[in-house]
Amino acid sequence: MAMTSRQFLNHRPRSRQRGAVAVTVAMSLLFLLGFMGLALDFGRLFVLKGELQTALDSCALAAAQELDGQSSSISRAVNAGIRVGNTNRIDFQSVNWSGKGQLVGADLSFKDAAYLPTTNPLTARYAQCEHRQTGVGLWLLQALGAFSGNRAAYPGTLDVHAVAEASRISAQSACPVPLALRPKTGGVAPDYGFSVGEWVTLLSKKSPVSGQIGWANLDGTRSASETEAEMDGFCGTRVGDTLGTPGTQSKITESWNARFGIYKNSGGVTDRAPDYTGYAYTRVNWPTGRSAFNGSKPAGAPASAENFLTKRLAFASCADTGTSVSNCEVITGIKLDGGFKTVAPPGQTSGGHRDYGASRRLVIVPVTDASSKVIDYVCMLMLEPLGSTLDDVQLEFLGHAGSAGVPCTTSGLPGGSVGPLVSALVR
């Protein structure tokens, strides 16, 4: 019996239907695989880019903080940038950046105030960190290339690039040490009556008067234990804050002396970082009593005596070339009471000033008026350790903290007009 027209139209071979579905499914899978490849692989690249950018931001900030216009500034900036940048983890938190190469010296460059490339440490003002992570493997896109037979259209690897640039600018808030400098009578900004290289006395038992320094709590309290805590780090001080006047110090020597790499048995460089050098200055080894930061060795000084910048390059300890507390006492003429037993190793010895050192003796000091209100900041060098909590010590005046040529930097909120210099990203 002949088929009707409806029966004829509805009659299709089942094998042909199955073939059409298979082709459709295969093409759909290829399409979906492409989208999955884009999502997963480019998502991975996005994460890697973010991690790399964080590392380079850290690198640039650390490097810029060292650009103080001194002869060693670029070498210190390179070392600081590499050290801090490489502490970040890249490629899904890989410690060694998946073996594709971490930051090296060639990744850092510098510019002067006119924004021109420079290798002169005296004029470098901007630090730039730039790095390319090459050969980042792609997962599904590479498989898609093999599946489609067109490998050239689907690369197996891509590169990820990031750059960051930082400079030192004025801060709104600062992280100074818990001290207060009183201007000299008639002294006004920016130097308040002091001269660069002048030694100024920090009084341990009396409130400061004209041209002196006293202990001052940055949070406005009077607790001596707070003073010690603030020596280990306190941020947020602003012009106009009222500082506290603490009583007799009882434990401040531990925090103070740690910056010179001098510790009791219970402490060490891993607990409190020292400066790049612990070499100290008193009239015993620096008879002129001024310009220890970068001055010429004065007549009558020991043969081993050199200025702070020279000793910093050598990572000298308080004991100069050794770890003996008694040798430190001979160099300085200070008797270190209270159980100090350990001096951080000097020079290239591991575990000492070279490995754990930071800029810990170039400090920001608030300038206060007669009512203990912060009116400004200056840069000073901590010259000597504390023999006891009852001793007076000396600091060297290095200039206004907001001047481009001073060696002090601070942490804090950038964007001030007259504050101390703080490292900030500019690109």
Banded model confidence at residue 3, pLDDT cuts 50, 70, 90:
low
Whole-number pLDDT of residue 337: 84
Find residue 77's DSSP bridge partners. Answer: none
Residue pair 350/342 in contact by the 8 Å Cβ criterion: no
* Whole-angstrom distance, CA of residue 365 vs CA of residue 194: 13
Residue 332 has pLDDT above 60, yes or no: yes
Three-state DSSP at 171 gives strand
- The span from the CA of 398 to the CA of 154, in Å, is 60
- Provide the pLDDT for residue 224: 87
pLDDT computed for residue 255 by the predictor:
94
Chain segment 183-233, per-residue pLDDT in tens: 999 999 999 999 999 999 999 877 788 999 999 999 999 988 899 999 998
**141 or 356, which is more confident?**
356
Measured in degrees and rounded to the nearest 5, phi and psi for residue 200 equal -125, 140
Its pTM stands at: 0.76
Residue 314: pLDDT above 70?
Answer: yes
pLDDT greater than 80 at residue 169: yes
Which residues, including other chains, have CB under 8 Å from residue 275's CB and lie 6 or more apart?
Answer: 259, 260, 261, 312, 353, 357, 358, 359, 360, 361, 382
Kindly tell me if the per-residue pLDDT of 144 is higher than 70: no
Q: CA–CA separation, 245 vs 221, rounded Å? A: 7
Mean pLDDT estimate for the chain:
87
Q: What is the pLDDT of residue 145?
A: 55
Long-range contacts of 38-46 (CB under 8 A, 24+ apart): 38/141, 40/139, 40/140, 41/138, 41/139, 41/140, 41/141, 44/92, 44/136, 44/138, 44/139, 45/136, 45/158, 45/160
Q: Is residue 266 very low, low, confident or very high in pLDDT (cuts 50, 70, 90)?
A: confident
Confidence category of residue 380, pLDDT binned at 50, 70, 90: very high
Q: Which helix (DSSP H) or strand (DSSP E) does residue 59 occupy?
A: helix 14-65
Question: What confidence tier does 151 reach under pLDDT thresholds 50, 70, 90?
Answer: low
At residue 62, the pLDDT reads 93
Q: 21-25, 251-255, 295-299, 360-364 — which is least confidently predicted?
A: 21-25
Of 154 and 57, the one with more pLDDT: 57
Instruction: Give the pLDDT band of residue 115 (cuts 50, 70, 90).
Output: very high
Q: What is the mean pLDDT of residues 335-349?
A: 91
Confidence (pLDDT) at 81: 95
Read off the pLDDT of each residue in 105-110 and give the average, rounded to a whole number.
96
Query: Residue range 276-291: average pLDDT?
Result: 97
Specify which residues 167 forms β-bridges with: 126, 424
pLDDT of residue 265: 81
Question: In sequence order, what DSSP letters do the residues of 243-263 get, joined into one string?
Answer: PB-----SSHHHHHHHTTTEE
**Are the C-beta atoms of 378 and 132 separated by less than 8 Å?**
no
**In terms of pLDDT, which residue wins out, 153 or 106?**
106
Q: Are 387 and 336 in contact (CB under 8 A)?
A: yes
How far is CA 174 from each of CA 75, 147, 157, 223, 241, rounded to the nearest angstrom? 26, 59, 45, 21, 11
Q: What pLDDT does 20 receive?
A: 64
Q: Who wins on pLDDT, 10 or 190? A: 190
Higher pLDDT, 139 or 146: 139
78: number of Cβ within 10 Å: 23
What's the pLDDT band for 18 if we cut at 50, 70, 90?
low
Residue 130 has pLDDT above 70, yes or no: yes
